[in-house]
């Protein structure tokens, strides 16, 4: 009987891997690359993450994983509306998309502002402005070259994780600077309520309200 390997720990701000440009992967299907991918996916699953980048587990190489890059999830109204996107993805057995040496080849002129958080900065949220759509290229674990256009939530998560590969954290892109950081226990003060004409948003809600990039949604 083979015992399941425990997930690696998430490193936090201050760890050098989070502030350096990650190295490109040269041996795309080598043993070390497979090891890092396995650890990354285990960590993503352990934290019910939307996405995760290799530097967040202390591995400064250009690999990231995104839960639903290809937008395969039905709407919340169609499937288990009480669950977040990550839980619905698990229900549908949607595996994370692993991207090796990812790049953004084009970005839309339209931008959205949304709340982001990160497992490497636990408890902190901030408003970040990003292109609403991006065209991406990467190598899949099987060696296939992949091109895809990400829109909305998937685009935001991909950009957030790609930033990690360049030593950039979401706190570097805050609309209002570090003064705009909010602890998750106070986030409800920042989000629109029904009385304000907006949807009630929770820290685990979707991109129309608040998006936890590396944690549960």
Residues with catalytic function: 161
Cβ within 8 Å of residue 100, ≥6 positions away: 25, 28, 33, 62, 63, 138, 139, 140, 141
Interior CA angle at 185 toward 197 and 213, to 5°? Answer: 80
**DSSP class of residue 129?**
E
Give the chain's end-to-end CA distance (angstroms, integer): 33
β-partners of residue 145 are 139
Is residue 159 helix, strand or coil?
helix
Pairing of strands 97-107, 133-139: antiparallel
Computed from CA positions of residues 28, 152, 164, 191, in that sequence, does the dihedral angle turn out positive or negative? negative
Count of residues making up the chain: 217
β-partners of residue 103 are 137
Cβ within 8 Å of residue 3, ≥6 positions away: none
């Amino acid at each position: 009987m083979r015992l399941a390997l425990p997930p690696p720990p998430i490193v936090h701000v201050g760890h050098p891997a989070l502030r350096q440009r990650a190295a490109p992967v040269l041996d795309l299907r080598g043993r070390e690359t497979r090891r890092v991918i396995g650890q990354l996916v285990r960590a993503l699953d352990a934290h019910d993450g939307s996405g995760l980048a290799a530097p967040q587990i202390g591995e400064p190489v250009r690999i990231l994983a995104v839960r639903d890059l290809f937008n395969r999830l039905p709407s919340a109204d169609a499937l288990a509306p009480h669950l977040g996107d990550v839980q619905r993805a698990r229900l549908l057995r949607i595996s994370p998309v692993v991207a090796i040496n990812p790049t953004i080849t084009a970005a839309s002129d339209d931008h959205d502002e949304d709340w982001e958080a990160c497992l490497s900065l636990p408890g902190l949220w901030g408003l970040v402005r990003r292109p609403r759509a991006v065209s991406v290229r990467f190598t899949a674990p099987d060696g296939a070259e992949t091109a895809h256009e990400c829109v909305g939530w998937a685009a935001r998560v991909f950009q957030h994780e790609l930033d990690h590969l360049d030593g950039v954290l979401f706190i570097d892109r805050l609309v209002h600077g570090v003064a705009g950081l909010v602890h998750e226990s106070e986030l409800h003060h920042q989000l629109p309520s029904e009385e304000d004409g907006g949807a009630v948003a929770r820290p685990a809600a979707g991109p129309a309200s608040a998006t936890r990039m590396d944690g549960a949604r």
